[in-house]
Structure 1
């Protein structure tokens, strides 16, 4: 399962060995200045929509890139029964190829409270 750390003026998402195969990266670092919104998501599996490039176990697990062809591209690592954190980002400011990060983490509520969007 992916992990999220708040450090060095931003958010670092680290992926497990098998998740790296689906997301094509070891980690994603989102600078604090690029964060537009942060949301606690109780059931994150249903929030990844659109075309995909990644792993899907229907209703249970989604890992990879979602939203292909929708205009909002998501980096996703979510599981049923584990709350998630949705971080909307300014793609250009972050220098990343996606608009949102959607990750299941056990401490999602704590992280959501600790993160403040740059426009707040």
Structure 2
């Protein structure tokens, strides 16, 4: 499962060893200034759209890059159960992050306070 934390003026997301294969990176750091909205969501698996590069276990987990051909690329590390965040970004490689995180509520509040 991915982890996320605020480090300085950025949000750093680190991926587990097996997730790294699907997202093609060990971590990503997004400047807080690029974060437009943060919302805690249920059923993050239903929020992906378009083509993908990554791993899909239908109804269980999605990890990779979604949104190919839609204009908004999504970096996804989502599971069917547990809390998740949808983070909409302004510019850059990805337009959205969809992340299942054990501390989603706390991180959402911290991000909203810093925005």
Q: TM-score normalized by structure 1?
A: 0.90
Per-residue displacement from partner, 1:9-44 (whole Å, max 9, x unpaired)? 121000001100000000010101111111101211
Paired residues of 1:40 and 1:85 also in contact (CA < 8 A): yes
Deviation at 1:117, TM superposition (A): 8.1
Counterpart for residue 95 of structure 2 = 99
- Looking at structure 2, the residues matched to 12 and 57 of structure 1 have their Cα atoms a distance apart, in angstroms, of 26
Tell whether 2:57 aligns with 1:60: no
- Looking at structure 1, the residues matched to 91 and 28 of structure 2 have their Cα atoms a distance apart, in angstroms, of 12
Matches within 5 A, 1:1-120: 1-92=1-92, 97-116=93-112
Q: TM-score normalized by structure 2?
A: 0.94
Coordinate RMSD, CA, aligned: 1.4
Deviation at 1:82, TM superposition (A): 1.7
Unmatched runs of 5 consecutive residues or more in structure 2: none
- Looking at structure 2, the residues matched to 54 and 4 of structure 1 have their Cα atoms a distance apart, in angstroms, of 20
CA gap of 1:34–1:117, structure 2 versus 1, over 3 A, is: farther
Which stretches of structure 1, 4 residues or more, deviate above 3 A after TM superposition? none
- Looking at structure 1, the residues matched to 72 and 18 of structure 2 have their Cα atoms a distance apart, in angstroms, of 25
- Looking at structure 2, the residues matched to 18 and 117 of structure 1 have their Cα atoms a distance apart, in angstroms, of 32
Deviation at 1:91, TM superposition (A): 2.1
Unmatched runs of 5 consecutive residues or more in structure 1: none
